[in-house]
Structure 1
């Protein structure tokens, strides 16, 4: 994860994007990219362009990770905590 963080942060720094990053702008970008991802499934569930879907999924992940780094939170930590919370609310099936 550290290597990925370095790659994303350096990429954004070299383009001057860090200065325009705010929590609100990053959240908006996540939603916009998620909507673009959803467009690939708008009229059909099983017939989609995997490369195009992966491109949009990458955009969602990049913006999401960028927001984590901007806020100074570790993505692994917040995901782990969220999964613990969800596990409490939704126990395993037996």
Structure 2
């Protein structure tokens, strides 16, 4: 989709991080709406986050597993 619309050439990381913030707020607000609305907002957040990972060349599974390993070392 990003390639189709040319967004992969114009979106900056800063822009997409700001979009994650905005879409996260919309996700929170959608808790009071339908399940479909919540899923749609969740998809928006995920698409921006995954786009950031793609543009930075991050392996999603690796960064998640690294974070899990870090959290597992903590004492709660």
Q: Same fold (TM over 0.5)?
A: yes
Higher RCO by CA contacts (8 Å cutoff, separation 6 or greater):
1
What's the counterpart of residue 64 of structure 1?
49
Q: Bigger radius of gyration, 1 or 2? A: 1
Aligned-partner SS, 1:89: coil
Match of 1:35 in 2: 25
Q: Over aligned residue pairs, what C-alpha RMSD do you find?
A: 1.4
Alignment of 1:12-91 (within 5 A): 12-41=2-31, 48-90=33-75
TM-score normalised per structure 2: 0.91
Contact 2:20 2:49 in 1 (8 A): yes
Q: How many residues are paired up?
A: 76
Structure 2 gap segments, 5+ residues each: none
